[in-house]
Structure 1
Amino acid sequence: MKNYASRRNILQGLIASTILVGFDTVNSSWVAFASTADSFVNLPHLDGVLYADDDTRANAADDFGHLVRRYPKAVLKPGSIDDIVNIIKFARTHNLKVAARGQGHTCFGQAQVEDGVVIDTSTLNKIHDISADRAIVEAGVRWSELLQATLPQQLTPPVLTDYLELSVGGTLSSGGIGGATHRYGVQVDNVLELQVVTGKGHLLTCSPYQNQDLFETVLAGLGQCGIIVKATIRLIKAESNARVFLLDYDDLAAFTHDQRLLIEDERFNYVEGQIVSDSKGGWRYLLEAASFYTPPNEPDNTSLLSSLSYTQGTEKIEDKTYFDFLNRLAPTVAFLQSIGVWSNPHPWIDLFVPATAVEKYISEVVSTLTLADTGNSPILLYPVKTDRFTLPLFRVPNEQIVFLFAILRTAPSDDDTTSARMLADNRRLFERNRDLNGTRYPVGATAFSQEDWQQHFGSVWSRLVNAKRRYDPDNVLTPGQGIFTSF
């Protein structure tokens, strides 16, 4: 009886998870058991598993934004890179769309695909090699995992995003910005080589010296020409500690002036900033900077703070380990997860504002902005130098310094009206910034038409179109971005 129950449980589990074996080309539907129908096509060999159960599909139909839901027909959890090659070839043959999903941290359905196949790259999470100046990793590796592997060798990726639980493939598809960007560019500027599966199902190696056009249209290319499956990331020496400075400002012009000064003379390793609510009403500004060091060498506080115009006596200075500083959001995220807020809708907006217009633009925004408009969530504002950016599809204003401006909004759960209002406000803020020759960092939730995308890519639009025709001629890849709705 025990053996019978065990076999029955296994069978029920297989049925519940709906592991697929074939595809019905007439009805455009997956088949869980072998069929004798003429329209039945066997799946290619897979080292992993293709799922079509409701739970797996529902998970892939959602993302961190919880604003857009598109249900795939199946979800591939690959056991090898060959699985991605095979499933893309299969999808291309049978007119199916495909999207790669790392940690699902997109905000507006970018990694979703209706009635197609989502590739869950989190199962491709092997760190292949770490040497003196580089690491070779699969796309599903999280940056926290890579950092924990490199630090014992006193090495670190040059640029890390504020939240470390993002996948390598995910951030390299969009850019990957952080507090060290003013020194080292974004994460895509620190890639030495890629392995990519194109929309034709070809596995290609690319770098600045091999298949350069593919390299430059996959990095920050929003998944349009290929799926990153392996990356070689540049590494630099890691210090063991971080001295963190929090400086308070009540004047926007003084705040942005000091931020510009700090990134120009590079006295700090890390520079960011926030717009924070004032207990007396309105908004104040918080400059966050860090100097990395290894004892017995220590930063000179007086030198680091010289000539800055922050509110004297309000500064906070704290020493942390390098890892704890970079991973500082982990306790906050754990708390938000424990109270359920992490699963609320997140209508985020991320923009690049020209430095020549930043005071005017931000003054206009904060003059009417309320805490309710943000859902009590962070507002980021910090500068970066555009001469650090080397990839053509990472679009920023044509100025030497631009400011990342991001409202990381949280909307109440089950309140579509508030989410819709925040999305409408995102569009309004985008258009105002666009009219000032600003651009969008396309990781948030802002409705975009094909015309918007063409304007966004500007002078490199034809380059992206030509690469799409070469590497994904049947428009198989990443439809959730909405860049090529027809091709």
Structure 2
Amino acid sequence: MSRVPLARRRVLAAGAAAAVVVAFDPVGLGWVTRAQADAGTGGLAVPDLDGELVTDAAALAEAAEDYGQIAHRRPRAVLRPGSVRDIVEIVRFANRNGLSVAVRGQAHSVFGQAQAPAGVVIDSRTLAEIRSVGPGAAVVDAGVTWLDLVRATVPRGLTPPVATDYLGLSIGGTLSVGGIGGASSRHGLLVDTVLALEVVTGAGELVRCSPRANRELFDAVLGGLGQYAVIVRATVVLVPAETTARVYRLSYPDLGSFTAAQRTALADGRFSYLEGQVVPGEGGWDFVLEGVVYFTPPNAPDDARVVRGLPAPAATEIAELPYFAWLDRITALVEQLRALKLPNPWLNLFLPDDATDRYVAGLLSRLAPADVNGPILLYPVPRGRLTRPLVAVPDSPVVFLLSILRAVAPDEATVRRLLADNRAEYERARALGAKQYPIGAIPTRPADWPSHYGAQYPRARHAKAIFDPRGVLAPEQGVFG
């Protein structure tokens, strides 16, 4: 593999020089090696970097795939930055030379959202340092995973207030899309728990932003789908961590009782964490409310009080785990599934409360259990906790997340059919006031995005014009054509 740190290229032995990228050919749209440059091939000099620019086949192939295994679009180069300065230099270089740029963290996207066909992919895994951890906040590089962070904070009695169910996501990637989990019922999305950011705008400017400094940029970047800037560092909220998680799984035979129980639990805040799943049952579907109470002994919850006032479940299971073990409960499973490289045509929607039961009942009548092969999540969050203007959700006091996280056999016809089904379901849901949570595999069209953002669309277009005027960032999201 030709991995050559550009900052050290002048001291390479002559035998290695043939693999070194030293320039870009804007006519042939290719990279010029040291050997080619010495032979007289022209090109535009690539800036000196602290990290490495990689063009070998293995690196390009890796950057052309993700967890979803559906989209495979190769870049022309991969940057493994050794510093934030490298990102500034490459984004500026891309602006001068008409290249696109995307950031790839843990590659957990499922529809090519972090790819950059014929452009440059920035691999954020090489910028992954936890800079500080203290009461109230942690400062982290964008390539740090949430698992890295909770491993560092929980032993100190601290935790992020919200965690995604799978912790192996990069912090920068999660903050670019929103980030949701069971504790969103109390604390909003992960983007609602950020105090400050350092970003490189699409124009190549390194900027610190927060609610008090460069607020327009701060609001655009959080949940902005990578359209306006590359997140390089974040200051995220930490709160005191309890030591124990008591998990309540309440099974319901029908959708109405299940969502009624969720609405009651959401309204009175009895759970620290509130989610739910739809699972195949005998002759239909079963519904499981999953609620968790975090505590530190001896202050254990009263089980009878916790479930009091909810519709009577058909079955109740109560389990107890250490807090960290609960947060980390599915990491091993996800990594096993990742290794299988199965297509993941996920459907992710935010539904308005008053349409949720009607839409989900119809969806389940159309959905074949054989087409699922993964969890179906359905749970509510209060709209008032969601504060970021470019995270589009229905105008409803309560919003339900619906996620069909399926993995299917690598059959092209099946994947095409399920993508078409996702599009049809999106259109049905949108007619009822729903929005997509744009982490899934819904084929979109340019005309979808003004509807998606609604009254915030002019704000999104203005931010794009100001912060990424040449449109170099995150091309595969398709937000601006």
The TM-score range, normalised by the shorter chain, is over 0.9
1:218/1:364 Cα in 2 relative to 1: closer, same or farther (>3 Å)?
same
The alpha carbon displacement at 1:331 in A equals 3.3
Asked if the contact 1:245–1:316 (Cα under 8 Å) also holds between the matched residues in 2, the reply is yes
Task: Tell me which residue corresponds to 2:443.
Answer: 447
User: Partners of 2:33 and 2:348 in 1: how far apart?
Assistant: 42
Asked if the contact 2:348–2:438 (Cα under 8 Å) also holds between the matched residues in 1, the reply is yes
User: Partners of 2:438 and 2:14 in 1: how far apart?
Assistant: 42
Task: Tell me which residue corresponds to 1:330.
Answer: 331
Task: Tell me which residue corresponds to 2:463.
Answer: 467
Give deviations 1:214-246, integer Å, cap 9, x for gaps. Answer: 000000000111000000001111001000011
Task: Tell me which residue corresponds to 1:155.
Answer: 158
AA of the residue aligned to 2:235: T
Task: Tell me which residue corresponds to 2:431.
Answer: 435
Asked if the contact 1:26–1:39 (Cα under 8 Å) also holds between the matched residues in 2, the reply is no
Task: Tell me which residue corresponds to 1:6.
Answer: none
User: Partners of 2:13 and 2:278 in 1: how far apart?
Assistant: 55
User: Partners of 2:337 and 2:137 in 1: how far apart?
Assistant: 34
User: Partners of 1:102 and 1:437 in 2: how far apart?
Assistant: 32
Asked if the contact 1:113–1:479 (Cα under 8 Å) also holds between the matched residues in 2, the reply is yes
User: Partners of 2:74 and 2:55 in 1: how far apart?
Assistant: 10
User: Partners of 1:12 and 1:154 in 2: how far apart?
Assistant: 53
User: Partners of 2:115 and 2:17 in 1: how far apart?
Assistant: 24
Asked if the contact 2:265–2:310 (Cα under 8 Å) also holds between the matched residues in 1, the reply is no
Task: Tell me which residue corresponds to 1:247.
Answer: 250
User: Partners of 1:412 and 1:287 in 2: how far apart?
Assistant: 29
- Kindly indicate whether residue 377 of structure 2 is the aligned counterpart of residue 380 of structure 1: yes
Gaps of 5+ in 2: 1-11
Give deviations 1:318-357, integer Å, cap 9, x for gaps. Answer: 11000111111023224435xx53x100000100111101
Alignment of 1:19-418 (within 5 A): 19-33=20-34, 35=37, 37=40, 39-278=42-281, 280-312=282-314, 314-337=315-338, 340-341=339-340, 343-374=341-372, 376-413=373-410, 415-418=411-414
Asked if the contact 1:273–1:288 (Cα under 8 Å) also holds between the matched residues in 2, the reply is yes
The alpha carbon displacement at 1:307 in A equals 1.3
AA of the residue aligned to 1:381: L
1:14/1:326 Cα in 2 relative to 1: closer, same or farther (>3 Å)?
farther
AA of the residue aligned to 1:369: L
Asked if the contact 1:19–1:49 (Cα under 8 Å) also holds between the matched residues in 2, the reply is no
41-50 vs 165-174, which moves further: 41-50
TM-score (norm: length of structure 2): 0.95
The alpha carbon displacement at 1:14 in A equals 5.1
Secondary structure of residue in 1 paired with 2:186: helix
Give deviations 1:287-313, integer Å, cap 9, x for gaps. Answer: 11100011111011011010122434x
AA of the residue aligned to 1:88: V
Task: Tell me which residue corresponds to 1:3.
Answer: none
State the identity as a percent. Answer: 47
1:14/1:448 Cα in 2 relative to 1: closer, same or farther (>3 Å)?
farther
227-236 vs 300-309, which moves further: 300-309
1:60/1:258 Cα in 2 relative to 1: closer, same or farther (>3 Å)?
same
Asked if the contact 2:32–2:41 (Cα under 8 Å) also holds between the matched residues in 1, the reply is no
Gaps of 5+ in 1: 1-9
User: Partners of 2:417 and 2:467 in 1: how far apart?
Assistant: 38
1:11/1:311 Cα in 2 relative to 1: closer, same or farther (>3 Å)?
farther
AA of the residue aligned to 2:429: N
The alpha carbon displacement at 1:368 in A equals 2.5
Secondary structure of residue in 2 paired with 1:328: coil
Task: Tell me which residue corresponds to 1:480.
Answer: 476
The alpha carbon displacement at 1:257 in A equals 0.7
User: Partners of 1:301 and 1:102 in 2: how far apart?
Assistant: 40
Task: Tell me which residue corresponds to 2:5.
Answer: none
Q: CA RMSD in A?
A: 1.6
User: Partners of 1:344 and 1:12 in 2: how far apart?
Assistant: 43
Secondary structure of residue in 2 paired with 1:50: strand
User: Partners of 1:354 and 1:471 in 2: how far apart?
Assistant: 32
Task: Tell me which residue corresponds to 2:7.
Answer: none
Task: Tell me which residue corresponds to 1:5.
Answer: none
User: Partners of 1:25 and 1:252 in 2: how far apart?
Assistant: 58
The alpha carbon displacement at 1:259 in A equals 0.3
TM-score (norm: length of structure 1): 0.94
Secondary structure of residue in 2 paired with 1:382: strand
1:14/1:440 Cα in 2 relative to 1: closer, same or farther (>3 Å)?
farther
Secondary structure of residue in 1 paired with 2:78: strand
User: Partners of 1:38 and 1:426 in 2: how far apart?
Assistant: 48
Asked if the contact 2:95–2:203 (Cα under 8 Å) also holds between the matched residues in 1, the reply is yes
The alpha carbon displacement at 1:152 in A equals 1.5
The alpha carbon displacement at 1:28 in A equals 1.9
Asked if the contact 1:248–1:310 (Cα under 8 Å) also holds between the matched residues in 2, the reply is no
Asked if the contact 1:97–1:477 (Cα under 8 Å) also holds between the matched residues in 2, the reply is yes
The alpha carbon displacement at 1:15 in A equals 7.7
Asked if the contact 1:134–1:234 (Cα under 8 Å) also holds between the matched residues in 2, the reply is yes
1:473/1:283 Cα in 2 relative to 1: closer, same or farther (>3 Å)?
same
1:14/1:222 Cα in 2 relative to 1: closer, same or farther (>3 Å)?
farther
Give deviations 1:263-291, integer Å, cap 9, x for gaps. Answer: 1111110000000010x221010111100
Asked if the contact 2:100–2:119 (Cα under 8 Å) also holds between the matched residues in 1, the reply is yes
